[in-house]
Amino acid sequence: MATISSLLADHVTLQVRSVDRLFLQGYVPRLMCEGQVIRFLLDRGFPIPSPAVLGKIGRDYVNRVNAFIAENEIPVVRFVKGDVKEEIAREQFTRAEREGRYGVVMVGVAQEKTSAWRGWRDGGPDGHPHFVYRRQSIFPNNYYFYIRDPDWGPTFIKTVAYAPWPVWIYLNGNEWAKQQAARQGIAFRALDNGFASCEDPEALARICHSLSAEDVRRFFERWQGTLPSPLSDEDRRRGYAHALAVRQMEISDTRTFDRPAAGRAWFEATLPDQLTLGRPDQAAVIFGRRINSRTPGRFHTKIFNRGTEAAIQIHYRASKVKQYFKEGRALRTETTVNDTRDFGVGRLLTDENWNALIDIGHQINQRLLDHQLDACACAPDATLLERVVLPSTTPDGLPAPGLRFGDPRTMALLACLCSFQHLIAGLTNRSLRALIAGLIPGYSARQMTYDLRRLRRKGFIQRIPRTQRYQLTSEGRRLAVFFTKTYTRIVNPSLAELDPGPPPVPWTRSELTVSE
């Protein structure tokens, strides 16, 4: 019978690890406070920093957008509530691809909530009135420039005519890789937002690995010089230029199976273990971050069906990792970072932050797969099993009491070790004791101290240097899962089936019993 490890080893024809969807915000750092707005207007040459000047700049920008649309004969679509913008734009992208055209293929207009600077008079003489500025939520027209870029394929840039004139940029790393592969003459067959096959997987891997923050910056600078902007070149020379921040980043691991049946078999074998053994604390393991009572956000695992295709979705704060069967051909594991600060990484698009986010995403994806493999293939060899259940000695000669299989205290201890949060935050006498006390009333701190010593000498845990915390070893995690699964899924059910006698008392009290 095929296992999930053998399905990945024997039936995967292509693996692609890459940046997937990327959503960035461009903001002007020198327009983030009231004083900076006033300074901008003074730098523009207006002696009185009136909000009417901001309105004039916005109207001029709208006129330039309309002129740009008319000059280039670009289709315009006014979005309404309920429209799926991506679907509407796809038709124009398809037409441009068919005709071999690059550039702006469509402009969409939508009224959307935006935070903008609003000003009003607050005293002062008529000759020199005083104005104040505050950020307020408004619903102006947002302009979506849908661009077919020679380097990135389908993209869009969203702008607004109100200060501080933020922009939003959507890119896709898989589409970037397709453009580069086609340019290098590498034959491939595409999935939607991915690759189904490739004649040179190693070259494709190098392409995906080469994508950098500089490629993103070059894209933005190129189109910033092409599209209309409320900021002039002179404004940028004075320092009023956009900086880019990462608002959403997806990092994916796509493994294409040789046939759909292998992919379905992988999910059928994997899903049962996702419902037990430490859920929902699995989120802590997957994301590699410490969680405590003050950590905000959601932490849960969700397994759902989309038609006949299963998917797994795990949330951590504002971010998530999901795993699904893509187009009936590929296993897609995908980490979505919606707030880089969830992982202690800055939002600015710098080389350091970019590389850190990619490393985090790939580690999360691999960690999810590794834990799935550990949960389905955790059986130890006979020698290791004997060392765990029987008394032994450590390499430095210290006695290591046995962890007897079937002993209620041992089984409760190992079952609580399966809680995924321990791999992230580490465990202490107090944190682990609280879990065990829920299974064994009266379990004391002194007993916990003894059990921690047993676990450490048996290699289940190791002390984190310069702390009173411990962390599970990879072998300890695997053995805890094996003991718990064996006890709860094999031993207990089998003993119940082997008991031939009825319960000693309850049957005599049944209302269905007929006595003469």
- Rounded average pLDDT per 10-residue block, the chain, 516 residues: 77 93 96 93 88 92 96 94 91 93 96 92 82 92 96 96 95 96 94 90 95 96 94 92 95 92 81 56 44 59 54 79 86 92 91 94 84 69 85 89 91 82 67 89 92 93 86 82 83 70 54 47
CA 221/CA 214 separation, integer angstroms? 10
- 4 touches 269 (CB < 8 A): yes
- Count the helix, strand and coil residues of the chain and give each as a percent rounded to the nearest 5: 45, 25, 30
pLDDT of residue 294: 64
Closest to 192 in 3D by CA, of 217, 211, 174, 210: 174
pLDDT of residue 368: 77
62: which 2 tokens?
């709208």
pLDDT of residue 513: 47
Vertex 331 angle, CA 327 and 334, to 5°: 105
- What's the Cα-to-Cα distance from 5 to each of 200, 270, 291, 373, 464, rounded to whole Å? 24, 10, 30, 6, 31
pLDDT of residue 290: 57
Using CB atoms within 10 Å of the CB of residue 189, give its burial: 0 to 12 exposed, 13 to 18 middle, 19+ buried: exposed
pLDDT of residue 280: 35
- What pairing do the DSSP bridges indicate for beta strands 76-78 and 103-111? parallel
pLDDT of residue 285: 41
Alpha-carbon dihedral sign for residues 287, 318, 157, 53? negative
CA 14/CA 256 separation, integer angstroms? 5
CA 432/CA 331 separation, integer angstroms? 35
Closest to 250 in 3D by CA, of 311, 152, 322: 322
pLDDT of residue 283: 35
Whole-prediction pTM: 0.76
The H or E element that residue 450 is part of is: helix 445-457
pLDDT of residue 284: 36
- Asked if residue 164 has a cis previous peptide bond (ω within 30° of 0), the answer is yes
